[in-house]
């Protein structure tokens, strides 16, 4: 049996199956077609579920208990001129929390000594560039610091 004979045999089988299926459908002619009848079903009434309103819980704001270190740069020309990298040339008011610390840093470009007046009777003398002095505030109050600078500026600190 060669390849052509196999193909003819397969084709003949497919035709025989198709004719047989068609014949079976023609003989079993189904006349009992039933048209479906649509029966409406009643729609249940919509009821709104009663949802319990939760009691609001009060929001407690966390108080920052970690002390913050504020770095204030000082020089003989401007006096106080930066707090933690923010320029304070226009607004020399700083509000901090009890327990926070302010560190005054001599940042004079000429390496001249800077005097900081405020917390003590005698001023803190910051002789060399990058020399610093720190004050920790343990009670609420208002404080004022000044330097001997050309601009005579005053830094006002409010501790809350």
Could you tell me if residue 48 is inside a domain? Answer: no
Same domain, 73 and 135: yes
Q: Which of 118, 114, 146 is nearest to 131 (CA)?
A: 114
Q: How many domains does the chain have?
A: 2
Same domain, 77 and 15: no
Across the chain, mean pLDDT equals: 78
Same domain, 74 and 135: yes
Q: Kindly tell me if the per-residue pLDDT of 12 is higher than 70.
A: yes
Q: What is the pTM of this model?
A: 0.55
Q: Which of 99, 78, 68, 86 is nearest to 154 (CA)?
A: 78
CB 133 within 8 A of CB 114: no
Integer-rounded Cα Rg, in Å, for the chain is 46
- Which pLDDT score is estimated for 150? 77
- Which pLDDT score is estimated for 39? 62
Could you tell me if residue 22 is inside a domain? Answer: yes
Q: Tell me the CATH number at 115.
A: 2.60.40.420
Q: Kindly tell me if the per-residue pLDDT of 14 is higher than 60.
A: yes
Could you tell me if residue 47 is inside a domain? Answer: no
Q: Kindly tell me if the per-residue pLDDT of 119 is higher than 80.
A: no
Host domain of residue 15? 1-28
């Amino acid at each position: 049996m060669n390849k052509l004979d196999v193909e003819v045999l397969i084709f003949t089988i497919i035709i025989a199956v198709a004719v047989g299926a068609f014949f079976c459908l023609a003989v079993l002619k189904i006349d009992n077609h039933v048209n479906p009848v649509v029966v409406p079903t009643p729609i249940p009434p919509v009821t709104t579920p009663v949802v319990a309103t939760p009691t609001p819980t009060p929001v407690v704001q966390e108080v920052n208990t970690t002390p913050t270190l504020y770095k204030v740069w000082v020089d003989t020309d401007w006096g106080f001129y930066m707090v933690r990298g923010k320029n304070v040339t226009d607004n020399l008011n700083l509000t901090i929390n009890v327990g926070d610390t302010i560190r005054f840093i001599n940042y004079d470009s000429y390496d001249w000594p800077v005097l900081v007046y405020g917390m003590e009777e005698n001023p803190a003398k910051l002789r060399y560039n990058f020399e610093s002095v720190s004050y920790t505030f343990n009670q609420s109050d208002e404080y004022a610091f000044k330097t001997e600078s050309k601009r005579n500026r005053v830094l006002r600190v409010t501790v809350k």
